Structure 1
Amino acid sequence: MAYAIMRGEKRKTGDVRGITAHIARTQPTPNADVSQQHRNYAVVGPAWDDQKGINAAIEARTPKKYRKDAVRAIEYIVSASPEWFEENSDKQAALYFESAVDWFQDEFGADNVVSAVVHNDESSPHMHILVVPLDAETGRLNGKWFFGNKGVLQKRQSKFADHMAPFGVERGKADPQRTHTKVHEWRAGHARLDERDAALKAREFSTDLEKQQLVDREVLLDQREQALAAREQRLAALERELSVRGEKLAGGEKGLEQRQAEIDRAGAVLQQRLAAARAAQQQ
């Protein structure tokens, strides 16, 4: 069975612009396919490629006064096992991400979920959700409470998986010894998988090209064999024709020899007659 995937990481002021640049693709993303960027979209907040708008949404939800080291946003990545996307349609995937956003809004407050962007330009579809950890009771940023400790993270993983279960996904096996996978670690692993996938596709392309080249060579050889066979047939026909003509010439030469022999005999008879005639005149 496929797994529901949710990974989170706290983002301070220095991190926010880098994250929004990654989301909006305003910085190079080697494992993203530019030709597929038109399939990216926003579920909540500004357009997926509007980095300024996403930054402004974070600013608008942030109180005017906050500590310099305060957590400005919590970035969550939501996805599912790759096989789930292979077995489900794009429409079902869209419903999956929309349902995930509903859970985040219930969990953290709809106003705090300022951006949710789905990326379909990488090998596995996933969604970036930005939550501003604004405590409604105090009016202050409270990343520690919003993100929680290890126990809270594990319970939240279970709650999220239960919410997404109708889509045919489940929570990965809970392990007390397992540490929380941070977003940047998940992204790095995801990028490595994309690189492996790209390498495999390149190998497949190279293999297909070699196969096509072999097929082309076989076709060329077949054509050459057919051409040689046709030449052999023409040569055989010419040989037969020459043989017939040779036989005719041989027959003609034999006839000429016979006629020449007859002429020679006639000449000899004529010479004899002339000699006899001369002898008779002399008598």
Structure 2
Amino acid sequence: MAFGLIRARNLSAADISSTDIHNARRYEAKEQYPLNVPLEKRNDNFIKAEYILENHEDYLGKKETTLAEAIEERLKINEVKGIKSNSNLAIEYVVGINDKKAWDNYNFDGFVSNTKQWLERRHGKDSVVAVYSHLDESNPHVHIIVVPIEKKTVKWKNTKGSGERTESRLNTRDYTGGREKLRGLQNDYFEHLTQRYDGGKKFGLELFRGTLVENQTKEYVEQTNHEIGELRTVLASLGDDIAKNIVQGQILEKQRILALKEVELKKEEDRRHSEKKNLWKLKGTRDNPDIFHGKTSAEEKSGEKKNRGHRPSR
């Protein structure tokens, strides 16, 4: 059974550097790689990082671009207003198929290109700023960074008068703000897979809808714990006090967000447990046929009444 998987998380300014280091594998030593990457794959042959810059002239001749530069360029070109120190600057999508047999039948680079185009249709032209293809882990997948920008009408008033103006603003909330938004993301992505890949036949597989929102939260907790471990590794290698303070601040911020997510996960687990408990408080299966057997049709009920109390003739 193969699933089309997509996860999303918001990135603030504090997340950008560590995300880029992890996704582009900007490690100084092989020991810093995630544990699930085999030693023989801890090199650039299994990683592809692409940064999409709208104003390429500013970066001609540069040997290396960073995610921070790509995001900054998109914000600058679009003259985005209203950015705060804790604003979510981007959304990171992690996308893949949970069965590596898919890539025996379909080109992975083609899948990455199709996914990028789908996200651009979802968020608007030039919204994708970075694409990281990961072939070093057991199951190939892609990380795509999107900076969602919307046009917003803002009212103004001063001593000279008042009026309205249109500004470019960041908008991650409309895509990741709450359970229903993330559930809609899963549905939309599964619809895209079904249409684009003929229900999975182009992968040689039968595809099913991906993880539930509560599973996404659980995966987020696991991923954040992993990132905190990476930051602690970086911290141990630093000698400069200023750099140490910056990394320690990043760790504390991730721990704060993680604590909130763990509370959210606990609430979701309690809610589901309560629903199951209430379900079993209902009467038996004859009075509640939906519990085990699905709904009984009117014809079946009618036939049941006719045959009740009568033995079949011999």
* Corresponding residue of 1:148: 177
Question: How far is the alpha carbon of 1:38 from its aligned partner?
Answer: 0.9
C-alpha spacing 1:172/1:153, structure 2 compared with 1 (3 Å): same
- Whether 1:178 aligns to 2:217 is no
* Corresponding residue of 2:70: 57
C-alpha spacing 1:96/1:132, structure 2 compared with 1 (3 Å): same
Contact 2:13 2:86 (C-alpha < 8 Å) held by counterparts? yes
C-alpha spacing 1:139/1:172, structure 2 compared with 1 (3 Å): same
C-alpha spacing 1:89/1:52, structure 2 compared with 1 (3 Å): same
Alignment of 1:59-78 (within 5 A): 59-62=72-75, 63=80, 66-78=83-95
Structure 1 CA distance for aligned equivalents of residues 172 and 25 of structure 2: 26
Alignment of 1:238-277 (within 5 A): none
C-alpha spacing 1:183/1:99, structure 2 compared with 1 (3 Å): farther
**CA RMSD after TM alignment:** 3.0
Contact 1:43 1:98 (C-alpha < 8 Å) held by counterparts? no
Worse-matched range after superposition: 141-150 or 116-125: 141-150
Q: Structure 2 residue aligned with 1:163, among 180, 187, 192?
A: 192
**Which letter maps to 1:152?**
K
Structure 2 CA distance for aligned equivalents of residues 129 and 159 of structure 1: 17
- Whether 1:99 aligns to 2:114 is yes
Contact 2:51 2:65 (C-alpha < 8 Å) held by counterparts? no
SS in 2 for 1:178: helix
* Corresponding residue of 1:135: 150
Contact 1:99 1:164 (C-alpha < 8 Å) held by counterparts? no
Contact 1:9 1:182 (C-alpha < 8 Å) held by counterparts? no
Question: How far is the alpha carbon of 1:136 from its aligned partner?
Answer: 3.5
SS in 1 for 2:136: coil
Structure 2 CA distance for aligned equivalents of residues 153 and 178 of structure 1: 10
Contact 2:151 2:168 (C-alpha < 8 Å) held by counterparts? yes
**Which letter maps to 2:170?**
L
SS in 2 for 1:5: strand
**Which letter maps to 1:13?**
A
Contact 2:5 2:211 (C-alpha < 8 Å) held by counterparts? no
Structure 1 CA distance for aligned equivalents of residues 8 and 222 of structure 2: 10
% identical aligned pairs:
25
SS in 2 for 1:163: helix
SS in 2 for 1:26: coil
SS in 2 for 1:116: strand
C-alpha spacing 1:20/1:147, structure 2 compared with 1 (3 Å): same
Contact 1:3 1:170 (C-alpha < 8 Å) held by counterparts? yes
**Which letter maps to 2:136?**
D
Structure 1 CA distance for aligned equivalents of residues 110 and 130 of structure 2: 17
C-alpha spacing 1:61/1:86, structure 2 compared with 1 (3 Å): same
Worse-matched range after superposition: 122-131 or 20-29: 20-29
Give the length in aligned residue pairs.
185
**Which letter maps to 1:132?**
V
Structure 1 CA distance for aligned equivalents of residues 169 and 115 of structure 2: 26
* Corresponding residue of 2:123: 108
* Corresponding residue of 1:210: none
Contact 1:7 1:181 (C-alpha < 8 Å) held by counterparts? no
Question: How far is the alpha carbon of 1:130 from its aligned partner?
Answer: 0.6
C-alpha spacing 1:40/1:174, structure 2 compared with 1 (3 Å): closer
Unaligned runs of 5+ residues in structure 2 are 54-62, 153-166, 201-205, 228-314
**Which letter maps to 2:172?**
G
Contact 2:20 2:66 (C-alpha < 8 Å) held by counterparts? no
SS in 2 for 1:73: strand
SS in 2 for 1:181: helix
Q: Structure 1 residue aligned with 2:135, among 116, 120, 137?
A: 120
- Whether 1:30 aligns to 2:66 is no
Structure 2 CA distance for aligned equivalents of residues 64 and 51 of structure 1: 28
Higher helix proportion = 1
Structure 2 CA distance for aligned equivalents of residues 51 and 186 of structure 1: 30
